[in-house]
A = this chain, B = another copy of it.
Amino acid sequence: MPAPSVLSDIVFALPDVHPAWLPDAAFRPVGSRRLALGTPADGGAPAASEVLATLRAELDRATATHGGAVVGPQDAADLLLHLSPAVPTGFRLERSGGRVTVSAADPTALLHSWFHVVRRGEAAFASRPGDPDVDEHHAPASALRMLDHWDNVDVHPVMGQVERGYAGGSIFYDAGQVRPDLSRVTAYARLLAAVGVDRIAVNNVNVAAREARLLTDDLDEVARLAAALRPYGVRAHLSVSFAAPMTLGGLATSDSCDEDVRAWWRAAADRVWAEIPDFGGFVVKADSEGQPGPFAYGRDHADGANMLAEAVAPHGGLIHWRAFVYNHTQDWRDRSTDRARAAHDHFAPLDGRFADNVIVQVKHGPLDFQVREPVSPVLAAMPRTRVALELQVTQEYTGQQRHAVYLGPAWSEILRWRPWGDGGATVADVAAPAGGFAAVSNVGDDRFWTGHPLAQANLYAFGRLAWDPTLDPAAVLDEWITLTFPDAPGPLREAVHAILDESWHTYELHTAPLGVGFMVRPGHHYGPDVDGYEYTPWGTYHFADRDGIGVDRTRATGTGFTGQYPAPWRDVYEDRETCPDELLLFFHHVPYTHVLHSGTTVVQHVYDTHFEGVERVRAMVERWEAVAALVPDDVAQRVRERLAEQLRSAVEWRDQVNTYFLRKSGIGDLRGRTIH
């Protein structure tokens, strides 16, 4: 089985690019053994697929590097991987007498099993005397595990090459075209395969003129991207503009009920699948922040989505339709309009009306990827709809990869949250069998992929949690450390845990308090500006005055947003006495002197947490310095630079927020610390 042409050694070790969680050394336990790629259990030949060729190349590379050997399927091997149509989704892993056999029904699942064994390392093979044999079935919680790239082909005048990208340029595009050399894209697909992600959307959901053409005139460019992803079993999706029939097709309308429009989309889909037979589908941001949508024609989002669904259905394609729809030209004077309500108001009434191949993609919170929000009630409101949970790996509001913020614990909390209370289903239970999991990638052409080397852990964790939402995020981080720093001594492991385990909460401590959100600099969203969005049309307010702060979203006296939740949360959130402290200001407007469950007042909580947040960051800096010599110089230095900025930024957050509330409330710090 020859290695496919797009695979070459360069993909395994890109020059000047960090190997992330697949350094050669991570393959030592498996690469030093005897490996075999087997025929299916029925004795037939393996399907001649690119993915199997990739797998063979992986085995060759690992053994060539570490002294093992690839043997025939009938030979005695330490690890035999083989196709077996009888295995359900995922793969089966059997270990008997030190010999491991993995089997899967399709090549991509078999590739995933390979990386599973790599991840387990020595433990995959070793058993202590007396240990029972192993026979495990590993299947992903959801069939849909996808990353969205907000990459632009042309540099956008405001958003740049990658919207909300903090890791340099795009790995796909440069200067208005798809890059000539896509080996890095294949290397990226390899990283994704190693965490089980098998779909990506290759362009920004805000589709500008140049990017719109990817659907038509420049489809060959998408085909090149798909070809670069294919060896690792990753399928390409495309973000499209609802107005494409007009802007690209020259029609007078984009109305979903217009027969010419429907025909245009069908023809467009036919062309896409003719060019890219394993194409995934379309992602759509409609009627959102200026993007065109069905509202212009008096249609609703089910009408719009179903039209596209009809076009892609013959090809088995999917429509990911984002629920991020709200009024972004709100009047700040109007306290009755509540952006938090918008997605539920728009989408919940449509439950049951979406076609089977429409995924309604719901941001995890009702606002916009804040460090702390309640979980979106939309996720519990559409039982007859394939809802997907949308997360944000790129750290738009969580430090922009200048701050070390490990988001695994945040996502885990969301995934495990039970909208119907104890005993009810979790968010993961809702999304996994339906629309699955999607997230905005944090990858760019930066040497470390993610700007901050430690931000790789977020990309890793998304894949792992999308595969198994019940995983402990600290254990996932531990996997990442083991793979990324294969020779890591204990102190390094402990230090990375110390830096990252609580880093999400640390970020929460020194930024916007008690779930109130935003308070960031408008536009770029980095660094503090307490009133930055207070008088804007964006619908993200805190309403701080000299007496108190917070947004009254109760049914009794506020916007009624609490009513979008099922019991018990509709009542838990409604009452400030039962509302969790960390969400108090999201749901209630309270005096600065209100006493939290923690026993301190709101304003004292602001001071305490902001002082504590800085001290925690200071400890992170010190912790890193103590172990920096244990990692390669480039990693040590990059992390050092970012941590220095994180400390500077945390001090800035602390001082601006504390000063703001001291000036406004007139209430001093009980502990007499310096507030400027």
> Residues of A at under 8 Å CB distance from B?
332-333, 523, 528-532, 535, 544-547, 652, 655-656, 659-660, 662-666, 676
Contact = CB atoms under 8 A, between A and B. Distances in A.
Contact of A676 (B333, B544, B546, B659): B333
A647 to B, nearest CB: 15
Contacts of A529: 531-532, 535
Contacts of A530: 531
A545 B666 contact: yes
Contacts of A532: 529
Contacts of A535: 528-529, 652, 655-656, 659-660
Nearest to A543: B663
A663 B545 contact: yes
Given A333-B659, A523-B523, A535-B652, 13 more contacts: A333-B655, A528-B535, A529-B535, A530-B531, A531-B531, A531-B660, A535-B659, A545-B662, A545-B663, A545-B664, A545-B666, A546-B663, A546-B665
A36 to B, nearest CB: 56
A588 to B, nearest CB: 17
A333 B656 CA distance: 9
Nearest to A657: B535
Contacts of A544: 663
A662 to B, nearest CB: 8
The list of the 9 closest CB pairs from A to B, nearest first, reads: A545-B663, A333-B676, A531-B531, A535-B656, A546-B546, A546-B666, A546-B664, A333-B655, A664-B664
28 contacts: A332-B676, A333-B655, A333-B659, A333-B676, A523-B523, A528-B535, A529-B531, A529-B532, A529-B535, A530-B531, A531-B531, A531-B660, A535-B652, A535-B656, A535-B659, A535-B660, A544-B663, A545-B662, A545-B663, A545-B664, A545-B666, A546-B546, A546-B663, A546-B664, A546-B665, A546-B666, A547-B666, A664-B664
A532 B333 CA distance: 19
Nearest to A667: B546
Nearest to A530: B531
A532 to B, nearest CB: 8
A515 B593 CA distance: 35
Contacts of A523: 523
Nearest to A662: B545
A516 to B, nearest CB: 15
Which one of A535, A655, A664 has the highest number of Cβ atoms from chain B below 10 Å of its Cβ? A535
Nearest to A157: B157
A136 to B, nearest CB: 54
A655 to B, nearest CB: 6
Contacts of A545: 662-664, 666
Contacts of A666: 545-547
A218 to B, nearest CB: 25
A667 to B, nearest CB: 10
A529 to B, nearest CB: 7
A662 B535 CA distance: 14
Nearest to A528: B535
Nearest to A160: B157
Contacts of A662: 545
Nearest to A545: B663
A224 B530 CA distance: 50
A28 B530 CA distance: 60
Contacts of A676: 332-333
A115 B656 CA distance: 56
Contacts of A332: 676
A523 B532 CA distance: 13
A389 B484 CA distance: 62
Contacts of A660: 531, 535
A655 B665 CA distance: 22
A666 B546 CA distance: 7
Contacts of A531: 529-531, 660
Contacts of A665: 546
Contacts of A655: 333, 535
Nearest to A547: B666
A546 B663 CA distance: 6
A146 to B, nearest CB: 33
A228 B588 CA distance: 66
Nearest to A659: B535
Nearest to A664: B546
Nearest to A155: B157
A662 B546 CA distance: 9
A590 to B, nearest CB: 15
A442 B663 CA distance: 39
A400 B330 CA distance: 24
A207 B530 CA distance: 34
A319 B520 CA distance: 43
A333 B662 CA distance: 13
A145 B535 CA distance: 42
